[in-house]
């Protein structure tokens, strides 16, 4: 089965999801800060903060692995404790 001209075929499974030409992480960051700015009646300020934060995040995450946001959430957000998962410091499993 051949691919029609003009369609990009992903070469690996680790390609980040995209919305138009932005990555999904940048869209989520920008839209969430834009919504927060709209709630407090400063939509332009929220949009600018979202764009600046998304550009900062792109510089930070460019040097890291593909799941960098999930890694940060796992290590630094301590609110979610699952019953069946061991603590993150446990390196050896018995049994």
Q: Does the pLDDT value for residue 36 go beyond 70?
A: yes
Q: How far apart are CA 28 and CA 94, in angstroms?
A: 40
Ranges 24-28, 29-33, 60-64, most confident = 29-33
Of residues 85 and 64, more confidence is placed in 64
Q: pLDDT value at position 94?
A: 64
Tell me whether residue 46 is exposed, middle or buried, using C-beta atoms within 10 angstroms of its C-beta: 0 to 12, 13 to 18, 19 or more. buried
Region 47-54: what's the mean pLDDT?
A: 92
Q: HEC states along 48-81?
A: HHHHHHHHHHHHHHCCCCCCHHHHHHHHHCCCCC
Q: pLDDT value at position 34?
A: 93
């Amino acid at each position: 089965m051949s691919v029609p001209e003009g369609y990009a075929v992903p070469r690996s499974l680790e390609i980040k999801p995209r919305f138009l030409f932005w990555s999904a992480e940048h869209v989520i960051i920008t839209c969430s800060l834009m919504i927060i700015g709209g709630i407090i009646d400063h939509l332009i300020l929220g949009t600018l903060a979202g764009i600046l934060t998304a550009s900062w995040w792109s510089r930070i995450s460019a040097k890291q692995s593909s799941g960098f946001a999930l890694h940060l959430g796992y290590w630094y957000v301590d609110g979610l404790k699952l019953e069946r998962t061991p603590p993150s410091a446990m390196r050896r499993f018995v049994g």
